[in-house]
Structure 1
Amino acid sequence: MAAAPAVEGDNGCARGGLVCVTGGSGFIGSWLVRLLLDRGYTVHATVKNIQDEGETKHLQALDGADTRLRLFQMDLLDPASIRPAVEGVHGVFHLASPVILQPAQDPENELLQPAVEGTRNVLRAAKDCGVSRVVLVSSQTAMVPNPDWPADKVVDDDSWADVEILKKLELWYNVSKTLAEKAAWDFAGEEGLPLVVLNPSLVLGPTLTPAATPSHRLLMQLLGGQKLDMEPYYIGCVDVRDVAQSLLVLYENPSAQGRHLCLESTERLVDFIDKLANLYPEFPLHRIKEDKQGWVVRSKVGSKKLIDLGVRFTPFEKTIRDTVDCLRSKGLI
Structure 2
Amino acid sequence: MEKNTSSRVCVTGASGFIGSSLVNKLLRQGHTVHATLRNLDDASKVGLLKSLPHADTKLLLFQADIYDPQEFEHAIEGCEFVFHVATPMQHNNLSSQYKDTAEAAVAGVRIIADSCIRSQTVKRLIYTASVLAASPWTEDGAGFKAYLDESCWTPLDVSFPHGTDFTMGYIVSKTLAENAVLSYNVIDGGKLEVVTLPCGLVGGETLLPILPPTVGVVLSQLTGDSNRYNSLKFMQEVIGSVPLVHIEDVCRAHIFCMEQPSMRGRFCCAVASPSIKEIAACFQENYPEYKIAKEFTEGPEGGIKCDFTKLVKIGFEYKYGMKNILDDSVVSGRRLSKSSLSQLI
Shorter-chain TM-score tier: 0.7 to 0.9
AA at the equivalent of 1:16: S
- Find the partner of 2:42 among 22, 43, 52: 52
Q: Distance in 2 between matches of 1:167 and 1:82?
A: 35
What SS does the aligned partner of 1:263 have? coil
Whether contact under 8 Å (2:137, 2:145) holds in the other structure is no
Aligned pair partner of 1:133 in 124, 141, 154: 124
Q: Who is 2:171 aligned against?
A: 174
Counterparts in 2 of 1:36-75, with a 5 A limit? 36-75=26-65
**Structure 2 unmatched runs, 5+:** none
Q: In structure 2, how many angstroms separate the alpha carbons of the residues matched to 1:154 and 1:312? A: 21
Partner of 2:300: 291
Determine the C-alpha separation between the residues in 1 that align with 2:15 and 2:104. Answer: 17
1:3-27 residue CA offsets vs partner (Å, 9 max, x unmatched): xxxxxx27xx994110000111111
Structure 1 SS opposite 2:268: strand
Distance 1:122 1:283, change over 3 A: farther
CA RMSD in angstroms comes to 2.8
Instruction: Tell me what 2:325 maps to.
Output: 319
| 1:226-270 deviation digits (Å, cap 9, x = unpaired) | 242322224311001100000000111135331111111133232
Length-normalised TM-score, structure 2: 0.83
- Does the aligned pair in 2 maintain the 1:45–1:70 contact within 8 Å? yes
Distance 1:88 1:303 in 2: 34
**C-alpha distance 109-320 of structure 1, shift in aligned 2 (>3 A):** farther
Q: Equivalent residue for 1:221?
A: 220
1:6 matched to which residue of 2?
A: none
Q: Which runs of 4+ in 1 moved over 6 A?
A: none
The question of whether the paired residues in 2 share the 8 Å contact of 1:135 and 1:247 is answered with yes
From 66, 72, 79, the equivalent of 1:82 is 72
CA contact (8 A) 1:54 1:210 kept: no
Q: Which amino acid aligns with 2:309?
A: K
Contact 1:14 1:90 in 2 (8 A): no
Distance verdict in 2 for CA 1:83–1:166, change over 3 Å: farther
State how far apart, in whole Å, the 1-side matches of 2:178 and 2:44 are.
Answer: 28
Inter-partner Cα distance in structure 2 for 1:289 and 1:20? 41
Distance 1:283 1:86, change over 3 A: farther
- Kept in 2, the 8 Å contact 1:86–1:125? The answer is yes
SS in 2 for 1:262: coil
**2: CA distance, partners of 1:292 / 1:232:** 14
CA 1:144–1:81: 2 relative to 1, 3 Å: same
Say if 1:186 and 1:55 are closer, same or farther in 2 by CA, change over 3 A.
Answer: same
Q: Which amino acid aligns with 2:148?
A: V
User: Quick one: structure 1 residues 14 and 207, their matched pair in 2 at CA, closer, same or farther if it must change by over 3 Å?
Assistant: closer
- In the alignment, the residues of structure 1 paired with residue 213 and residue 337 of structure 2 have an alpha-carbon distance, to the nearest angstrom, of 16
Q: Structure 1, residues 53-77: CA drift from partner, whole Å, max 9, x if none? A: 2322221111111100011110113
Separation of aligned partners in 1, 2:16 and 2:145? 36
Q: Which residue of 2 aligns with 1:5?
A: none
- Among 9, 14, 17, the alignment partner of 1:27 is 17
Q: Is the 8 A contact 2:221 2:296 kept in 1?
A: no
Distance 2:249 2:53 in 1: 20
Unmatched 5+ stretches in structure 1: 1-8
Q: CA deviation at 1:121?
A: 1.6
**TM-score, normalization: structure 1?**
0.85
More moved, 163-172 vs 58-67: 163-172
Residue aligned with 1:164, SS: coil
* Number of aligned residues: 316
Cα distance, 1:111 vs structure 2: 2.5
- The structural deviation recorded for 1:152 is 6.9
1:303 corresponds, among 287, 301, 308, to: 308
- Confirm or deny: 8 A CA contact 2:50 2:56 kept in the other structure: yes
Deviations 1:180-202 (A, max 9, x none): 10111224422322111111100
Evaluate the alpha carbon distance shift between residue 212 and residue 255 of structure 1 in structure 2; reply closer, same or farther with a 3 A threshold. same
Q: Percent same amino acid at aligned positions? A: 30
Instruction: Tell me the alpha carbon deviations over residues 195-217 of structure 1, each in whole angstroms, 9 at most, x when there is no partner.
Output: 11111100111111122222123
What is the aligned partner in structure 2 of residue 249 from structure 1? 256
